[in-house]
Amino acid sequence: MPPVDPALGLRADLEHRRAAGLYRQRRVQGGPQQPQARTDGRPMLAFCSNDYLGLANHPEVIAALQQGAARWGVGSGAAHLVNGHSAAHQALEEALAEFTGYPRALLFSTGYMANLGVISALAGRGETVFEDRRNHASLLDGALLARATLRRYPHADAAALARLAQTAGVRLIATDGVFSMDGDLAPLPDLAAIAAQTGAWLLVDDAHGLGVLGREGRGSLDHCGLATGQVPILMGTLGKALGTFGAFVAGSHDLIESLIQRARPYIYTTASPPALAEATLVSLSLARRDDWRRERLHALIARFRHGAAQLGLPLADSPTPIQPILAGSSARALDWSRALEAAGILVTAIRPPTVPAGTARLRVTLSAAHTDADLDRLLAALAALPGLDSAVTENTRTKISRT
């Protein structure tokens, strides 16, 4: 018999994804991250970046990166535990600890790696990790890497978590602070109370809250009035509101020392460039100092939601820069995204498995760098979306399921 081509199954899967409207394609950006972008060779107005404060192309951050490269070179050359941990990394960790109010912080190369590292270091076989059903994939995968028992509770439903926790020992509770596809906030005070009652670790992934919420942009914990002692583990990313790249975990001295010893994604990867740490120190300072950026951002959020309500757009209940417009089917979300693209506006269609079946949406994200004219142009294009009336009717009948 002739040999079987192992790629046949891959091709069949790719064709299935295309037919189901689930195929993903990359776009090529031709310039820096900013609202007025050049995408696939075309000028576009972008509403799909997580650069919430407009710092990714800030001249002071760029200058710090250039000066850092002149001092440190480009690459770190090794893992943190070998020879790659520089004075720039150390200074950034200390600044992040001070910013968040925790005793220590530990840099990771990405938020995905940070979540994998924390959960796999703290939980294992025979232990139970409870997670919100809408958690980021990295939190879910962390439990799988740990080989712990993963139990998912209905979205933002602390009462359901409390009931589930009575039937099984809880090692760790993990949640997004701001949910990346819905833009809503986790019930952090209730989760903190449950963690305290059960003796569990509580891990909050505040990738989309830091820089945006709270005093000086300290994030979801500060927004909710929680002390650091109520949330033993905070994960934050540097590539969203802070505009650079990387992530960190903040916690107690013993937690950070344990992660240094046990978190495989930290131990076995090359440290990020020291020059990047220098740039992040500057972006962190700008984010803390420039309250006008957050004020501008929240004014844009209010303006967008008011305009969307006047149009009857099927929005999710989000007070953050993440503003999902519910389409329902993947086909409709793609049609809407393509219609906006034809009008010169870039908004990504989010489809399963990133979101539950039947809840495909446009994920509009706002930045302090957007102008009122940018927002008006977006609203005008949204008003002309094909099939909008039927989507509004469906949304009034069936809201996003919280499970």
Q: Which residues are catalytic?
A: 180, 208, 240
- Cα distance between residue 18 and residue 312, in whole Å: 31
- Cα distance between residue 315 and residue 237, in whole Å: 26
> Residue 250's beta-bridge partner residues?
105, 234
- Cα distance between residue 194 and residue 285, in whole Å: 34
Nearest CA to 76 out of 272, 280, 246 is that of 272
Take residue 343 and report the two structure tokens written for it: 């009008």
Q: Which residues of 147-177 are buried (b: 16+ CB within 10 A; e: fewer)?
A: ebbbbbbbbbbbebbbebbeeeebbbbbbbb
Neighbouring residues of 336: CB distance < 8 A, sequence distance ≥ 6: 325, 327, 347, 349, 362, 385, 386, 387
Take residue 337 and report the two structure tokens written for it: 């995204």
Q: Which amino acid is at 239?
A: G
Question: Following CA atoms 47, 48, 53, 56 in sequence, which dihedral angle do they give, to the nearest 10 degrees?
Answer: -120
For residue 83, how far is the Cα from the chain centroid?
30
Are 402 and 351 in contact by the 8 Å Cβ rule? The answer is no
Are 136 and 165 in contact by the 8 Å Cβ rule? The answer is no
Q: Indicate the pairing of strand 201-205 with strand 233-237.
A: parallel
* Helical spans, DSSP H, in 125-263: 137-146, 158-167, 188-198, 220-223, 253-262
> How far are the Cα atoms of 154, 162, 191, 302 from residue 159, in angstroms, in the given order?
9, 5, 9, 30
Neighbouring residues of 90: CB distance < 8 A, sequence distance ≥ 6: none
* Helical spans, DSSP H, in 77-219: 87-100, 111-122, 137-146, 158-167, 188-198
SS3 338: helix
Nearest CA to 46 out of 57, 33, 59, 28 is that of 33
